[in-house]
Amino acid sequence: MAKRTAPIIVGNWKSTPKTLDDGVKFIKQLEKKLSSPKLKFPKKGYYIAVPEIFIPTLSPLAKHGFIGAETVHGTKLGQITGQTTPTQLKSGGAAFTIVGHSEVRARGETVEERTEKVVASLSIGFTTIFCLGEKTRDKEGKYLEELENDIKHTLSEVKRELFGELIVAYEPVWAIGAPEPATAAECFEAVIAIRRALASLGGIDYAKKVHILYGGAVTQDTVQTFLEEGGVDGLLIGRASQEVTSFIDILSASHVK
Ligand code: PGA
């Protein structure tokens, strides 16, 4: 994947839209808008994680962006009913996958499973967005330790040379699906903790370079604040990415100077 200089804006469609046709309409509308020379949109400027079954159809339509998977399931070929491996997702047109989203964690995903998914995805050079975030905050700042431990536990098995395609998304669970996002300052301090943990695994130079996103109740009104003051390189967006006009507004707010 090409070097990323513009903000990384990732939509997460979750279990929307209702049908594949609706997804096709969304991407076509988005592409039409982004093709306008007035917008000066980068060649590949958006990422959208979509329901797995939509990937092969939507991926070729996404000329200005990347279509990816919301999670990866089985990591090995074989007798695992209902599971899809990173290689299968990639061969079906996915350019990236999310791993460890809090809604997947809540369904019982274990640390071992997450590590396995991250290792298997990175091993085939699949861009992997690893999500983490605290459920609640305490006054003593133990949640920062929680974040650092999550990074260390999940990634300590990953070979350093595979770190290049890793993106980390800080998503405080209390902000996902909530009316209000975290503040830029709250995001900034969490990002420092995350970079500290990454430095302990991959060295300071690596930790400075790794792309970190913020996710949780972002709307077009908060895009610039996070990008300018939150210490992040991009955003992971749920609800506001599920409607074409609000996603275009987010992309405009993040890419157009
Ligand atoms: P939200 O979701 O933007 O709707 O809060 C974020 C996410 O789940 O990644």
Mutate to test the pocket of ligand 1, among 130, 176, 180, 243 (most ligand atoms within 8 A of CB): 176
Q: Give me the pLDDT at residue 65, please.
A: 96
Our answer on whether the CB atom of 70 is closer than 6 Å to any ligand 1 atom is no
Which residues of the chain are under the pLDDT cut of 50?
1-4
Whose CA is closest to atom 2 on ligand 1? Answer: 238
Q: Give me the pLDDT at residue 37, please.
A: 79
Cβ–Cβ under 8 Å, residues 96 and 69: yes
Our answer on whether the CB atom of 56 is closer than 6 Å to any ligand 1 atom is no
Q: Both tokens of residue 136?
A: 């609640």
Our answer on whether the CB atom of 176 is closer than 6 Å to any ligand 1 atom is yes
Q: Give me the pLDDT at residue 5, please.
A: 65
Determine if the pTM surpasses 0.85: yes
Active site members: 101, 171
Q: Which residues of 69-79 are buried (b: 16+ CB within 10 A; e: fewer)?
A: bbbbbbbeeee
The Cα 132–Cα 176 span in angstroms is 12
Is the bond into 42 cis (omega within 30 degrees of 0)?
Answer: no
The Cα 223–Cα 252 span in angstroms is 10
Q: Give me the pLDDT at residue 257, please.
A: 52
